[in-house]
Amino acid sequence: MIEKKIVSLSNPKSSAAEAYRMIRTNLEYTDIDKKNKVIAITSALPSEGKTTTLANIAVNLANVGEKVLIIDCDLRKPKMHSMFQLSNEVGVTNLLMKNKIQADVIQTVGEVIGLDIITSGHTPAMPAELLGSYSMKMLVEDLKHKYDRILIDTPPVLQVADAGIVARYADGIVLVAAIAECGIEDIKTAKKSLEKVGANILGCVLSKAEMGKKGYYYYRYGYYYGDDHKKTGKRGRSKSSKKTLEQ
């Protein structure tokens, strides 16, 4: 069963699903002068919601008739296969090592017409080298002729160099930042790191918006803290009985 975090499928009438539809619309506006066919999704730090954001954007793009491919290039801590409940026996690493062909690794999502996924495959010894290889660039170029949109999941910018490497052959990149968890300086540093490699930053998605905050969509999936369940978050903040988007 596909994870409930893909709210665009599990609860399409929710305010969270509507927020993801707005993100899809905003991405379409970035295409006025140039088709941003290959889009990488990243974050400054871990656990900010990049994988969930990517999965929901992909579903929404497919729902409006685009032929969409997700490539899980977070080769260090891949999650896309578990998000969609798919096998990760083979994936992009097998293509790059040339021991599998595309037909062996492209998986379809039965619940979403027009959505395919290439999972990460086994964890390689040198992920950055694989992602920066000529084979990876040629793979993306080939797949561009077969899909309307390619979304690439990458590791956090401030942990490893992988996102910056992928950004070099992506048409654009989206930065996901968790409200009240990722500091503004972390976001600025991540932005500068991407700009140094010439990344085309399309925008920033704010995740984990709390219930009750004016001006935010209220995301109601994931988990919440009841009156008897409190947890201290980053920077010493206490999260009380407010539902949050856990991505």
What are the φ and ψ backbone dihedral angles of 72, each rounded to 5 degrees?
-85, 100
Task: Return the structure tokens found at 87.
Answer: 């096998």
pLDDT digits (tens, 9 = 90+) for 73-113: 999 999 999 999 999 999 999 999 998 999 999 999 999 99
H helices within the chain, ranges in order?
A: 7-10, 15-29, 50-63, 80-83, 92-96, 102-105, 127-131, 134-144, 162-167, 184-196
Average pLDDT of the residues of the chain:
85
pLDDT value at position 153?
98
What is the strand order of the sheet 68-72 is part of? Answer: 106-108, 115-118, 68-72, 149-153, 38-43, 172-178, 201-207
Q: What is the model's pTM?
A: 0.83
Structural domains in the chain plus CATH codes: 7-210 (3.40.50.300)
Spatial contact of 218 and 17, defined as CB atoms under 8 Å apart? no
Render pLDDT for 33-79 as a digit per residue (tens, 0 to 9): 667 899 999 999 999 999 999 999 999 999 999 999 999 999 999 99
3-state SS assignment for residue 148: coil
Q: Which residue has the tokens 């390689």?
A: 124
101, 181 Cβ separation under 8 angstroms? no
d(CA 144, CA 45): 29
